[in-house]
Amino acid sequence: MLTAPPGFGEAGSLSLLYRGTLASCNYACAYCPFAKKRDSRAALAHDAREVARFVQWVSEAQRPISVLFTPWGEALVRRHYRHAMAQLAALPQVRQVALQTNLSGPLKWLDGLPGREKIGLWCTYHPGETTLARFIERCTRLDAMGIRYSVGVVAMREHFEAIAELRAALPKHVYLWLNAYDRRGPGYYSEQDLTWLDAIDPWFAHNRRPVPSRGKGCLAGETALSVDGDGTLARCHFLPERLGNLYTDDLADILQERPCPRLKCDCYIGYAQRKDLPYQQIFGDGVLARLGGQADGLIA
């Protein structure tokens, strides 16, 4: 069992999943569901103002806060996201600040960063967009700087060799998670494929074959909220109902226990909040970025 840091899970703690207007990415993966566009300078400036406003709100918060940035595009190539993570990590009320990234952006800013033990990077390896050698070199730099991270790949059959090479090259303590290919059909993976993939990621089955969600208890809306760039709040990224605004409404009127209305939830950032699934216990304080489970012997 993971030992949570002081303050994790205490009364009043809140996880915020932030997704602003950033939509540009320096990669062009055909399977990626995120927006494919180039942000104008004006759009980037607008996004930077949104992020700065969010950081200011967190800096004034009187409760323990954990943050996961889930951008439509690649954020760490943008200076304002690196600056935001550094600011948040330095705040005493912030328990974790995590971000989804392809790990192509600058890393030097992390070296010696105050509060870097709170940083978590959810790193995705994209064969064809970068080399394994370059990706592993960057992971090695994270290890040297004491930055916690997980690594993942979309489990396309044409990527199986790359997945095997990646697992062999990564340190054993790093959790390698797999996302089921979104265009998969009933026969996309053979039984032999599934045996091999499940041996690499014991939680892969939850991603490719989600258990029913409707009516299940979920922390989304109770201790976790998604936040848009303008502050609009929802229970999670996958439910359209708007609950209010982070900057104008009282969270006491918003946060409450609600069962999930969706038939199924097949994305980790959603089902990690399910009360009947083990992810909060497995990953503890690293749950937002899938950190820690394998390192502590909870993942085979």
Q: Indicate if the pLDDT at residue 20 is higher than 90.
A: yes
What pLDDT sits at residue 39?
Answer: 87
How many Cβ atoms are within 10 Å of 99's Cβ, its own excluded?
24
Closest CA to 206 of 280, 271, 282: 271
Of 55 and 207, which is predicted with more confidence?
55
What pLDDT sits at residue 295?
Answer: 41
Tokens describing residue 44: 């980037």
Rounded mean pLDDT, 6-25: 77
Instruction: Label residue 200 exposed, middle or buried (CB < 10 Å: 0-12, 13-18, 19+).
Output: middle
Per residue in 31-85, pLDDT tens?
Answer: 776 556 788 999 999 999 999 999 999 999 999 999 999 999 999 999 999 999 9
Per residue in 135-189, pLDDT tens?
Answer: 999 999 999 999 999 999 999 999 999 999 999 999 999 999 999 986 656 788 9
Question: Alpha-carbon Rg of the chain, whole angstroms?
Answer: 18
Per residue in 210-257, pLDDT tens?
Answer: 889 999 999 999 999 999 999 999 999 999 899 999 999 999 999 999
Q: Do residues 120 and 146 touch, judged by C-beta distance below 8 A?
A: no
What pLDDT sits at residue 172?
Answer: 92
Closest CA to 229 of 66, 73, 28, 5: 73
Q: Indicate if the pLDDT at residue 1 is higher than 70.
A: no
Q: Do residues 217 and 259 touch, judged by C-beta distance below 8 A?
A: yes
Q: Which residue has the tokens 């090695």?
A: 140
Task: Count how many residues are written for the chain.
Answer: 300
User: Quick one: pLDDT band at residue 24, thresholds 50, 70, 90?
Assistant: confident
In sequence order, the β-bridge partners of residue 153 are: 178
Tokens describing residue 104: 């192509």
User: Quick one: pLDDT band at residue 7, thresholds 50, 70, 90?
Assistant: very low
pTM over 0.85: yes
- Report how far residue 77's alpha carbon sits from residue 70's, in angstroms, rounded to the nearest whole number: 14
